Amino acid sequence: VMSYLVFGNSQPLNIILCCVGVTVGFVVNTLAERDVLESMSSSPDFVSQLFKGCIAGLISSFFVALYPILLNTSFLKGADTWQKSININCMSLAWYLPLIAYEIGTGDLLASEALRDPHFWLFNFATGTVGFLLNVVAMLHVRYTSPLTHMIVGS
């Protein structure tokens, strides 16, 4: 659906049927989970919370599907893979800055002993490095295959 909306490309029927099957599976699983968890929960607004979680999951899935399509669009315009990867990482940092500022202002982040532990910083550096490399690999994957292939392999 996203490829059709963005590029105007239609997909073969078997791919559309697979996507419908995944969506139906999501709905069936959610309904089954609701029945099981509702019998275990005593909260009156449990269904409301489950509904909000489902909506958040669907919105998240929309943006996860949109990401490789937008990457492919930028590659079609001739964008450089390395520059795009650097830009995405800088945008991620910009999104985290308000959260960090909020935590510093309201929490005990600066008083934490973890900030003085070298293993903490080594782990964070390693995590950031692996995240950056995964971002580069994802971009190369989208560039040399297709957004749909990237989504299927990523799932």
Written as one string, the DSSP assignment of 61-72 is HHHHHHHHHHHH
Q: What is the pLDDT of residue 155?
A: 58
Residues 6+ apart with CB under 8 A from 59: none
> Does pLDDT of 125 surpass 80?
yes
**Token reading at 11:** 């997909």
Q: Average pLDDT, whole number, for the chain? A: 77
Measured between alpha carbons, how far is 20 from 94 in angstroms, rounded to an integer? 36
Residue 151, SS3 per DSSP: helix
The b-or-e profile of 40-58 (16+ CB within 10 A means b, else e) is: eeeeeeeeeebeeebeeee
Q: Which residue has the higher pLDDT, 7 or 23?
A: 23
Of 70-79, 98-107, 122-131, 132-141, least confident by mean pLDDT is 70-79
Assign 122 a pLDDT band (cuts: 50, 70, 90).
Answer: very high
pTM, two decimal places: 0.52
> Does pLDDT of 143 surpass 80?
no
